[in-house]
């Protein structure tokens, strides 16, 4: 099999709005009440996918969820017209666009049964995301239906919060080879919730059949969570033999680094000192919420949001990194400003799956021509603007539902809601 890393990006849904629902996500709460631009947001996401295709990377998609989620409101004894503003906004949430929270993925090379395992995240900490998992599960079970190569697990019990691949990293000699999987969990967040529970991470490692000698559990530092690093991927990212992390990312940094060097001597740890880039600068710029990728020629590139190059000390560090003799040879920029304003950078928008593309449902894979068709659909159907007060308007609901239906029809996919 030709195993490659495929990035499955969430298409930004037509209900994308700024309701500020995510406690601890500083960008989301700071922009609460702003007028959003769903059409521009979706086109920015598609442009990022096109950019990565142009680099020679494999690219897939995950779909916007049905919004508003009227079934969820019914379970709460209300509906769109009667719900209070917070519940209504939660029912309209387009946060499923951040596919890094869709699931935790262990490639076939790491698992006991030789299949790629995916466990859907329960996202139980935040109300607006807690109702995503049923549709995410349905999508993943369709996209990865080949039981000879994949196993898709339902979420771990909601007693233990799990927020998916945003708190999971993998180091390996190459994507298709056995590796070391790192599960990062939170203990305390200095007033913000620690969203990833250690027990959820341990359960996923067991469900995936990972070798106990090639998995690590690391606590995120309280300083990072308190500064706004609500997920590990805001302060660290890994790819093949490279770990890129902020100096203050982990509670026991020396212990984690020692374990990594013991299990994988070839690991290259690129640490950004707090003296060069503060936690505040790292989080505002989303330097680490980037896609660290291996290009077809074998070199590595870091795909950062525009904000990283616009933050002076971050830009200076990136210049020094590229000019040096380290493993990351290029720093590339993408514009995902609409997503960034709601608290999600390039890494948030994608779920990494190591697989043979031939084993994936082709409707979830894209090329330039398919992206052109999706972009035309977005241009035709996605709302141009949404103000918070618009969510109660029947006309907006109808437009959002029609937009999603048009996309499903274009892709030949069923409504899995």
231 as an active site residue: the answer is yes
- The pLDDT tens digits for 287-309 are 999 999 999 999 999 999 999 99
Which range of residues forms the domain containing residue 145?
Answer: 4-411
Domain membership flag for residue 417: no
Query: Per the domain annotation, does 170 fall within a domain?
Result: yes
Of 163, 240, 247, 307, the active-site residue reads 163
- The predicted structure's pLDDT at residue 272: 98
Burial class (CB in 10 A: 0-12, 13-18, 19+), 307: buried
- Whether 99 has a pLDDT exceeding 90, the answer reads yes
Asked whether the predicted pLDDT for residue 385 surpasses 70, the reply is yes
CB 187 within 8 A of CB 225: no
Strand runs labelled E in 194-335: 215-219, 236-239, 242-246, 268-272, 291-294, 300-305, 328-334
Q: Exactly one of 231, 240, 281, 338 is catalytic; name it.
A: 231
Asked if the structure places residue 151 within a domain, the reply is: yes
Q: How many domains does the chain have?
A: 1
Let me know if residue 105 belongs to a domain.
yes
The yes-or-no answer on residue 348 being catalytic is yes
3 state DSSP class of 332: strand
Query: In what side-by-side order are the strands of the sheet with 116-120?
Result: 103-106, 116-120, 150-153
Tens of pLDDT, residues 237-276:
999 999 999 999 999 999 999 999 999 999 999 999 999 9
Mean pLDDT of the chain: 95
Residue 197 counted as domain residue: yes
Bridging pattern class, strands 103-106 and 116-120: antiparallel
Would 308 be classed as within a structural domain? yes
- Give the per-residue pLDDT at 128: 95
Pairing state of beta strands 58-62 and 236-239? unpaired
* 183, containing H or E segment: strand 180-185
Name the band, by pLDDT with cuts 50, 70 and 90, for residue 221.
very high
Residue 27: per-residue pLDDT: 60
Q: Which CATH number does the domain housing residue 259 bear? A: 3.75.10.20
Q: What is the pTM of this model?
A: 0.96
Q: pLDDT digit string (tens) for 345-370?
A: 999 999 999 999 999 999 999 999 99
Q: Which of 116, 208, 281, 348 is catalytic?
A: 348
Question: Could you confirm whether 116 is annotated as catalytic?
Answer: no
* H helices present in 264-367, as ranges: 279-285, 306-309, 312-323, 337-341
Q: Is 129 domain-assigned?
A: yes
Residue 416 in any domain: the answer is no
Of 98, 97, 142, the residue nearest 118 (C-alpha): 142
The predicted pLDDT at position 370 comes to: 98
């Amino acid at each position: 099999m030709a195993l490659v890393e495929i990035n499955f990006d969430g298409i930004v849904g037509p209900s994308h709005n700024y309701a500020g629902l995510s406690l601890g996500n500083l960008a989301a709460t700071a922009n609460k009440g702003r007028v959003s631009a769903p059409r521009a947001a979706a086109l920015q996401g598609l442009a990022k996918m096109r950019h990565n295709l142009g680099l020679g990377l494999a690219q897939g998609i995950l779909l916007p969820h049905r919004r508003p989620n009227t079934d969820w409101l019914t379970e709460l004894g209300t509906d769109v017209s009667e719900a209070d503003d917070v519940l209504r906004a939660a029912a309209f949430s387009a946060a499923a666009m951040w596919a890094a929270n869709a699931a935790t993925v262990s490639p076939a090379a790491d698992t006991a049964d030789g299949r790629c395992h995916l466990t859907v995240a329960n996202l139980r900490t935040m109300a607006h995301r807690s109702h995503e998992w049923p549709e995410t599960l349905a999508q993943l079970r369709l996209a990865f239906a080949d039981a000879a190569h994949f196993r898709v697990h339902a979420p771990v019990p909601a007693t233990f919060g799990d927020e998916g691949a945003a708190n999971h990293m993998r180091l390996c000699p190459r994507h298709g080879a056995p590796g070391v999987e790192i599960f990062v969990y939170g203990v305390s967040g200095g007033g913000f919730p620690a969203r990833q529970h250690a027990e959820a991470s341990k359960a996923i490692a067991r469900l995936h059949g990972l070798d106990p000698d090639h998995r690590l559990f690391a606590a995120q530092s309280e300083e990072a969570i308190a500064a706004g690093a609500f997920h590990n991927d805001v302060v660290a990212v890994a790819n093949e033999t490279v770990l890129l992390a902020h100096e203050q990312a982990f509670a026991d940094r020396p212990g984690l680094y020692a374990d990594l060097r013991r299990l994988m001597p070839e690991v290259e740890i690129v640490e950004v000192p707090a003296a060069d880039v503060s936690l505040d600068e790292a989080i505002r710029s989303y330097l680490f919420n980037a896609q660290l990728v291996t290009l077809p020629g074998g070199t590595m590139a870091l795909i950062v949001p525009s904000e990283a190059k616009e933050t002076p000390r971050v830009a200076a560090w990136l210049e020094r990194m590229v000019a040096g003799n380290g493993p990351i040879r290029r720093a590339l920029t993408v514009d995902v400003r609409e997503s960034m304003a709601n608290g999600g950078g390039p890494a948030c928008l994608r779920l990494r799956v190591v697989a043979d593309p031939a084993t994936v449902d082709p409707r979830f894979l894209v090329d330039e021509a398919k992206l052109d068709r999706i972009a035309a659909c977005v241009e035709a159907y996605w709302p141009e603007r949404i103000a918070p007060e618009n969510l109660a308007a029947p006309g907006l609901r109808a437009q959002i539902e029609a937009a999603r239906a048009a996309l499903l029809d274009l892709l030949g996919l069923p409504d899995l809601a």
